[in-house]
Chain A
Amino acid sequence: MNFFKEINLGKLLILILFIIALGIPYVLRANQYQVLLATTVLLYGVMATSWNIVGGLAGQLDFAAFAYLGIGAYVSGTLFIRFNITPWFGMILGGLVASGFALLIGIPLFRFGIKEVWYALTTSALVEILKVAFNMWEKVGGPVERCLPYFSGSWQNMRFVSYAPFYYIMLAMLVMALIVNQKITNSKLGYYLKAIGEDETATEVLGVDNRASKLKALFYYSFLIGMTGGIYSCMYGYIHPSFFNGPESTKVAILGIVGGRGITYGPLLAALLLVGAQEFLRASLGGEFSGLYLLIYAVIMVIVVLFKPRGIATIFQDIYRKFVVREVKNKDVA
């Protein structure tokens, strides 16, 4: 009985949050900046939630998020620019190419047991290598910005004047990323990944195919981010090697870690709080006191890491357990 009531409460909360999320562009419709900010928060939410599969569950410190985002953006953008192929198809293909590339890198990495700090360094280097490669690859633009065709409002071409449609597309991506995350977490693969994240050697001794599990995690993660890349190129209206962005990839990993590794909604929570806080600080202080907002942002991060090393999602987990679960138990006892 308790179990069902808990589930219902959780579902109700998700439903309320989803309805609120659906209404945000309507409430903010007069202010394009705020809709863009909400869309940007969702973008990081999608990326950090996707990262959670490989970084949170499997414990692989991956710094290549913007490598896969860039590949997705280039595939979708180039198909659109050169062959007028709709970005809706381009983003799926972008996701597949990104995951194919991730597997190409992942197979030798996992085959030769590259892990921990070495895996982090390799993925970090991957972003820079791709940036240089795409700078030199003239057929897709080289160092020059390639602008996507302009449409004042076209669902078929995913080009809009307002940010509200991008918000809803990104919200759909987020729902997909959360569902994939949750499904994996509750599946056999999820248990394998969690075990790998805890102790890789022990898992292998128990007969788990570590390599296959990590490759599957890498596939899901890179596919979701590659698809997001297609939306990203349409939202920004061009493709450029600067999309392969090392510091932003690190930021995605930080959101995943600060949010709470392995907790499905943790990275999203971190994106909501930290990306929102960073932009608020930048918009308030960035013009008058150059760099001060970055300092304050860093201090916030340090405080979070010091006091909640398991992630900010644990605060909400504790509140939920303390009040909601206890309330349900008390009612059942009565």
Chain B
Amino acid sequence: MFVKNKGLNVNLTVKTLIYIFIGMMLLNVSAFSADLPGKIIVGCLEPLTGAHAVFGIEGKVGMEFAVKHINEAGGIKSLGGIPLELVIEDVGEDAMSARLATESIISKHKPVAVLGLYISRLTTVASEITEREKVIMVADALVDDITEVGRQYLFRPSPKASMQGRSAVEFVLQAAEKAGVKVEKIAILNEDSSFGRSNAIGAVQAALDNGLTIVYQKEYPYDITDASSIVHGIATAKADFVVHCPYFMDAIIFAQAFKELNLIPKYIAGMGACGYSDPESIEALGAVAEYYSNTCSYNPAKDTVQNRKFVEEYTAQVGHIPTEGAGMNYYGMWVLKEALELSGELYPENPLNPDNLRSAFLQLDLTSGPAVDTYPTNHISFDGKGDNPHARATILQVINGESKVVWPFAEAEAEFVFPRPDATY
């Protein structure tokens, strides 16, 4: 046996070398392609059970539609058309479950980015983990503080809460000017969460900037059962209009109190997108919901091909037009897609590296494309904190039992009603 193989078989050696070379080439190719996976995993972290499930489920559906549309449009083109894949975890309603869900989704799926968590305190907890793991987070929680604690990998395309408060005040002032009605005195109300307070801070600042007099301001518990004393207080202070950041039930209690006491100011504007103008509130309030308005971080009436497609498909599946939660996450996913495209162009050697992707987010300057087509304004970029300085809310007013976009005036689908026809003082 040894004797047979003692001489060097040249053919065999050359063949072996060729095989080894080919093998190494193949290994090399497979090692190269391992840098770009077959699909890009994106995590959906939303409260799908518990008190906030209604918002979380809408957000999840918005993300699902965005992923479907992105993949139909050819995936991430700068990365050779890699499709997105959405993995979903329920974050529940407390810090403990949110932390577990975030750790779970990152350890199981190693996502490039996560979207969600809608509730600010849950976002605070989850973003501590995404920072540690260097995972990009596209947040849909609106409390100002989220971007104030120095997070490096967190981006929030939506208008933050204080901007919503400002938008509510500016809408009323512009509507009053158009209608030729003088408004000088404002009352500001908010439920006692950090979200409510952030909205109120924005409203206060806008009121002061515009020379209004704040004649009444109140932060009340969100589970308030009787709003009559507050309504009396507003009437006594003779506020021309009220800006109010409610949750859901408290909006109903306030609207009924205004009606029953017949102490209705010239206008009552919601801020923060909860209550008054959403489908559930309109159903619960019936005719009482008429003329109330609220801010929204999404414009369902924006007349673009992409937005119409989203609204039509969403309405066909869910039964109503996209709510704020759905809209925010729909364009949030498109913003992520644009960042991935840019990262592919700027850093072709390692586009999914979190620092490269972060850099791409910071260099985004979008004025067209599907993300902008579904966004409330026509400009998306991010400042050093992760907020979009060009963000602004839209205003939806209940007119004839339906929620209609009335502001910005240029994009309105219906003419606003101001002052309220049923105002009593």
Contacts and interface: CB of A to CB of B under 8 A. Distances in A.
B89 interface: yes
Nearest to A147: B149
Contacts of B221: 132, 135
Contact of B107 (A31, A136, A144, A236): A31
Interface string B106-140: 11100000000000110011001000100000000
A147 B108 CA distance: 28
Contact of B121 (A32, A136, A242, A294): A242
Q: Please classify how large the interface on chain B is, using the bins under 10, 10 to 19, 20 to 34, 35 or more.
A: 35 or more
Interface in A271-295: 279, 282-283, 286-288, 290-291, 293-294
A135 B107 CA distance: 35
Nearest to B98: A236
B22 interface: no
A40 interface: yes
Interface stretch (B169-177, B179-187, B193-201, B252-260): B193-201
Contact of A236 (B48, B90, B95): B95
Nearest to B44: A287
A161 B99 contact: no
A31 B89 CA distance: 17
A283 B89 CA distance: 7
B103 A33 contact: yes
Contacts of B100: 33, 36-37, 40, 279, 282-283
B104 A33 contact: yes
A145 B145 contact: yes
Interface in A129-151: 132, 135-136, 142-145, 147
A143 B88 contact: no
B92 interface: yes
Q: Please classify how large the interface on chain A is, using the bins under 10, 10 to 19, 20 to 34, 35 or more.
A: 20 to 34
B57 interface: yes
Nearest to B221: A132
Contacts of A32: 103, 106-107
Contacts of B193: 143
A157 interface: no
B412 interface: no
Given A147-B149, A236-B125, A282-B97, A33 B108 contact: yes
Contact of B95 (A136, A147, A242): A242
B82 interface: no
Contacts of A34: 107
Given A236-B95, A279-B100, A291 B121 contact: no
Contacts of B368: none
Contacts of A240: 95, 121
Residue among A40, A242, A294 having the largest count of chain B Cβ atoms under 10 Å: A242
Interface in A185-242: 236-238, 240, 242
9 contacts: A33-B108, A132-B221, A143-B194, A145-B121, A147-B124, A248-B94, A286-B101, A290-B57, A290-B90
Interface of A: 31-34, 36-37, 40, 132, 135-136, 142-145, 147, 161, 236-238, 240, 242-243, 245, 248, 279, 282-283, 286-288, 290-291, 293-294
Kindly list the 5 A-B residue pairs having the minimum CB-CB distance in the complex, ordered from nearest: A287-B88, A286-B90, A33-B103, A290-B48, A33-B107
Given A36-B99, A237-B125, A291-B48, 17 more contacts: A32-B106, A32-B107, A33-B104, A33-B107, A135-B192, A136-B192, A142-B197, A144-B194, A144-B197, A145-B145, A240-B95, A248-B96, A282-B100, A283-B104, A286-B101, A287-B48, A294-B49
